[in-house]
Structure 1
């Protein structure tokens, strides 16, 4: 989704909201689209990109706020495969395609470590800034379960995964790791792919059979630490 289209969606969300200056609002993803809603509109966990007093929204956002909102929403759209229409694409796969739009699932252990990663990220370079924001959005969106309860077909940190393009002609094996452990694959497989990359963000918390990054499907989970009883990985 282009920056221009994102800003159009932001403007539309703001225009459709009757702002009360005495309340706090946030820009969020709710019921399949971008909304500007008061912060207590629901108790359900959902992606939130920016929050401020009603006065800030009523008087128009400043340049920095527009930039921040645009970057966060762009990162969310990339990791959740949202198109210019503001919704995930439909395909002949129908029901399974819809399942890719469901919330990702993280273990509590992974969630804690990933939040620590964000806390120590500091001011990332431009090349990784969108990925940091993408991870932040993913953490806000994901369902969190204990390591013992995570489904055995969910990609968790340090899982090894076999990916295939949707025509089944090409495949790649990757291990999802923290940035410090990442490396190119060279002549070895699986490649150690950082969670702070488009592929890493796309597969984290997703399930076998889900389509990610448009044309790639999670074909097989070769190893999941929790399923193997390796709860400290």
Structure 2
């Protein structure tokens, strides 16, 4: 296969889009029917989600149908933005025009290194793939969650610190705007409730609050509006590795 020559300073957005579409069109057959666009063997490829156990940079993942039916404009721009940031960070000479850093990919980046359990990572990856296939959530929310999963350090459930918000954790938040304390449980979308009772709301991980607090540490302030005050229950700390 021909490797991409990123030394071409005349490369523009159209050329980058062509590299991405070529990678998608050349994806190998996979029994899993799930793929990701990644940096592998010094080029951009679209490969099976589990083509290797080695750590490598991933820009986007979805099911076979999403690639077969064609990605949306938003998805393409998200992938392009992540590839540009990757090339810049790794000093790969990728000549691009008409680019404003962080317009898509950088918007949801967090400064600290995230830690997510293997169990949560598997379940949330499946959630993104299924929701993308059945259209049960907006692409923007799915991309936010996907970005967190791709950037996180995956650890064994028994190794996750007790001060990190994991799935099915119960936590107390401080709402700076109202001054109130809010108690929520972070749950999967099907378990979320619409009850506004501030004593114990079950909040979906795909909600704005859920996406903000997932994998946060106690003491962190989220978007200058909410602070994670205390974790009242974390499954892993209680050795409940089934939750």
| Partner residue in 2 for 1:30 | none
| Counterpart position of 1:181 | 191
CA contact (8 A) 1:157 1:177 kept: yes
Q: Which residue of 2 aligns with 1:149?
A: 159
Is 2:135 the partner of 1:124?
yes
Q: Is 1:161–1:175's contact at 8 Å kept on the other side of the alignment?
A: yes
| Counterpart residue number, 1:48 | 59
Higher RCO, 1 or 2 (CA under 8 Å, sep at least 6)? 1
Q: CA deviation at 1:185?
A: 2.8
Picking from 74, 88, 92, the partner of 1:67 is 74
The partner residue of 1:138 within 148, 155, 161 is 148
2:118–2:154 CA contact under 8 A, matched in 1: yes
TM-score (norm 1): 0.62
Corresponding residue number in structure 2 for 1:104? 114
| Structure 1 segments unaligned to the other structure (5+ residues) | 1-16, 27-36, 51-63, 81-99
167-176 or 115-124: bigger deviation: 167-176
Q: Would the aligned equivalents of 2:182 and 2:198 in 1 still touch at CA under 8 Å?
A: no
Q: Is the 8 A contact 1:128 1:196 kept in 2?
A: no
Change (3 A) 1:19 1:124: farther
* Pair 78,221 (structure 1): closer, same or farther in 2 beyond 3 Å: farther
Gaps in structure 2 of 5+ consecutive residues: 1-5, 21-37, 44-53, 62-70, 82-102
Q: Give a deviation string over 1:195-230, Cα, whole Å, max 9, x none.
A: 111111111111111121332111111110000111
CA RMSD of aligned residues (A): 3.5
Distance 1:76 1:160, change over 3 A: farther
- List aligned pairs for 1:3-82, cutoff 5 A: 18-19=7-8, 40=42, 48-49=59-60, 66-70=73-77, 77=106, 79-80=108-109
Q: Partner of 1:132: helix, strand, or coil?
A: helix
